[in-house]
Structure 1
Amino acid sequence: MKMSHKSLCTLIQRLNSSTKLLPVTRSSVLAHRFFSAEGNKPANEAPKILSTLFPQTSTTSPEAEKERQEQEEERRKADEKQAKHMKYGMYVFSGAAFGLTIWSVYEFGSPERDSNGEIIEDEFSSKPVIQQYIQRMWKSMTYYQKMIQEPSRDKLLPDPLKPPYIQPPYTLVLEMKDVLVHPDWTYQTGWRFKKRPGVDKFLEECAKHFEIVVFTADQGMTVFPILDALDPNGYIMYRLVRDATHFVDGHHVKNLNNLNRDLSKVIVIDWDSNSTKLHPDNTFNLGRWAGNDDDTSLFDLVSFLKTIATSEVADVREVLHYYRQFDDPLDKFRENQRILSEQMAELEQQEQVKPKPAVRKWTPSFMGGRS
């Protein structure tokens, strides 16, 4: 049953007048204690009556207060337990780190020994023992860092062939992914590699004038099976993978200084400028192939490379530097060839000079000018 505040005050005032109690105010109503009809002992029903008369008033029983205190105590104990575990964990971690440091110093800083177990003297043997171990460990760590960041060997290719064997005059360095093949993945087939249109003819023609090398930043376990299937005739003479690259600023870079070849005769075909940033003048940037079947870039590229080879260019970097300024080098090459063909046709018509091949030796006409 709900009663308004005004009705409640009127009821209590009537009770006071009959029992000669003091006048009841709002504050006295809120502070009024309820007694049972049997005596002055507080009734157990008082909280219930309060919640009925004043629904907005909340009271907490001793049992609820005790339960709340128990929950707070449990939370406090859980927090203390968690803090204790974290403290022990930090002790264990610090101890493990300290132990690992001591082990590393001992393992990588110990002097080498011969077959008889005798210590081999080195440049650190004359120094204090602790300094010896620390410096040997630092040398070992820098050695492993060098293994990761630098090529696995100084000479990536063997020395050029000696007579009577024939060494091709030029070296062609090819990126595999998105130049010769394109990786494709589906749920049904997984990873597959698609051959670029004209790749077979491209390798066959280039092998007549170039020493072909595939140089890629991919792992050997991925590259070798693909090249075995791509080049059954063995036109690709050498295969260089990730361990032959430099790791610079987060990129695997192809350092041509390690090729063991004359860089004036080296041409790199790649779409990623970061991988050849150490030798931009040796690079011919080819558009990255996305797997489309209407691509004809390799047909134009083989014409460009054959032109360089048959022209007996002394330094290919001059040609590549010229074409590097254009967004589409192959398109510029086609335009230059068209202009040269028109010039040759005009000369033949005038019969002022003897017929000569479109390309014979390196001349300014190769870059679009008149010879």
Structure 2
Amino acid sequence: MIKYFVMGLRGFFLLAAKIWSFVCYCFKRQARTVIQHQTVRYEVIQLSPLSKHRLSMLKRKTLVLDLDETLIHSHHDGVLKPTVKPGTPPDFVLKVNIDRHPVRFFVHKRPHVDYFLEIVSQWYDLVVFTASMEIYGAAVADKLDNNKGILRRRYYRQHCHLAEGSYTKDLCDICSDLSSIFILDNSPVAYRNYQDNAIPIRSWFSDPTDTALLCLLPMLDALRFCNDVRSVLSRNLHLHRT
């Protein structure tokens, strides 16, 4: 009788230990999620009189932004193997007609993209340049702009150049002064003719811990003070090759 009692007691403690381990796992996971999604701020320090004078002598620069896998990631109804973990809710859903067929796009915003756009729009004139179709790209840009008027200038697939089966983006179509324009894009092919005017960024699909946009803010803060963006960005050529 005592033997069965001891065995039952041991089983109870084993079960209780497993339940406690699972509760601790869930708690740690939830805590990690809360920490990852805490509001992050880049301290924008008030400029000194000398810095203000320096900026006043320089032409305001233009930052060209790609959409897919740079600022957002999306998949549509017909995707057999979505790159986003099943059950992950999209930030917004777009319903567009392509060739008279209704298509739903489930769009996920790169972490911190809203804050990124809020900050860099104070420093640069922003331009959206995507190789996607206008009916889709315009809808995504509208959502990211959110009636703030910071993404008014937009270029789409019809503005790209098709070369060797890939779409390339001609920055001269946006601004003839290449000293004051640069592009943020995950695809080196898109800006292969303007590597001195580009900031590479790794493609983003679903990682909720991604901080690539935040990490760019210090450099973008400083880049507005240079005479020619190419004098700085030309030093990143090794990143384009990787």
TM-score by length of 1: 0.41
Q: In proportion to residue count, which structure has more helix?
A: 1
Per the alignment, residue 248 of structure 1 pairs with 163
| Aligned counterparts of 1:211 and 1:185: Cα–Cα separation in 2 | 31
Which runs of structure 2 are paired with 1:14-25 in the superposition (5 Å)?
A: none
**DSSP-derived class of the 1:169 partner:** coil
Per the alignment, residue 320 of structure 1 pairs with 233
Per the alignment, residue 207 of structure 2 pairs with 292
Per the alignment, residue 203 of structure 1 pairs with 117
**DSSP-derived class of the 1:304 partner:** helix
TM-score by length of 2: 0.61
1:269 aligns to 2:160 (yes or no): no
Unaligned residue ranges in structure 1 (runs of 5+)? 1-166, 330-371
| Aligned counterparts of 1:258 and 1:286: Cα–Cα separation in 2 | 22
Per the alignment, residue 70 of structure 2 pairs with 179
| Aligned counterparts of 2:241 and 2:196: Cα–Cα separation in 1 | 16
Q: Is the contact between residue 179 and residue 270 of structure 1 (CA under 8 Å) also seen in structure 2?
A: yes
**DSSP-derived class of the 2:189 partner:** helix
Q: In proportion to residue count, which structure has more strand?
A: 2
User: In the TM superposition, what is the alpha-carbon distance from 1:325 to its structure 2 partner?
Assistant: 2.1
Which runs of structure 2 are paired with 1:1-371 in the superposition (5 Å)?
A: 169-185=60-76, 191-232=105-146, 233-309=148-224, 312-326=225-239
User: In the TM superposition, what is the alpha-carbon distance from 1:236 to its structure 2 partner?
Assistant: 1.4
| Aligned counterparts of 1:327 and 1:248: Cα–Cα separation in 2 | 19
AA aligned to 1:242 is: R
AA aligned to 2:181 is: V
| Aligned counterparts of 1:214 and 1:181: Cα–Cα separation in 2 | 12
| Aligned counterparts of 2:241 and 2:201: Cα–Cα separation in 1 | 8
Question: C-alpha offsets along residues 39-85 of structure 1, whole Å, 9 cap, x if unaligned?
Answer: xxxxxxxxxxxxxxxxxxxxxxxxxxxxxxxxxxxxxxxxxxxxxxx
AA aligned to 2:136 is: T
Question: C-alpha offsets along residues 239-275 of structure 1, whole Å, 9 cap, x if unaligned?
Answer: 1001111111111110112223411111111111111
Q: Is the contact between residue 188 and residue 240 of structure 2 (CA under 8 Å) also seen in structure 1?
A: no
Q: Is the contact between residue 181 and residue 195 of structure 1 (CA under 8 Å) also seen in structure 2?
A: yes
Question: C-alpha offsets along residues 280-317 of structure 1, whole Å, 9 cap, x if unaligned?
Answer: 111111000122110001111122111111xx101111
Q: Is the contact between residue 199 and residue 233 of structure 2 (CA under 8 Å) also seen in structure 1?
A: yes
Query: How many residues were matched structurally?
Result: 161
Question: C-alpha offsets along residues 201-259 of structure 1, whole Å, 9 cap, x if unaligned?
Answer: 11111111101001011111011111111211121131100111111111111011222
| Aligned counterparts of 1:216 and 1:326: Cα–Cα separation in 2 | 21
| Aligned counterparts of 1:324 and 1:307: Cα–Cα separation in 2 | 19
AA aligned to 2:62 is: T
Q: Is the contact between residue 68 and residue 74 of structure 2 (CA under 8 Å) also seen in structure 1?
A: yes
User: In the TM superposition, what is the alpha-carbon distance from 1:168 to its structure 2 partner?
Assistant: 6.4
Q: Is the contact between residue 168 and residue 190 of structure 2 (CA under 8 Å) also seen in structure 1?
A: yes
Identity, in percent, stands at 29
AA aligned to 1:320 is: L
| Aligned counterparts of 1:235 and 1:180: Cα–Cα separation in 2 | 15
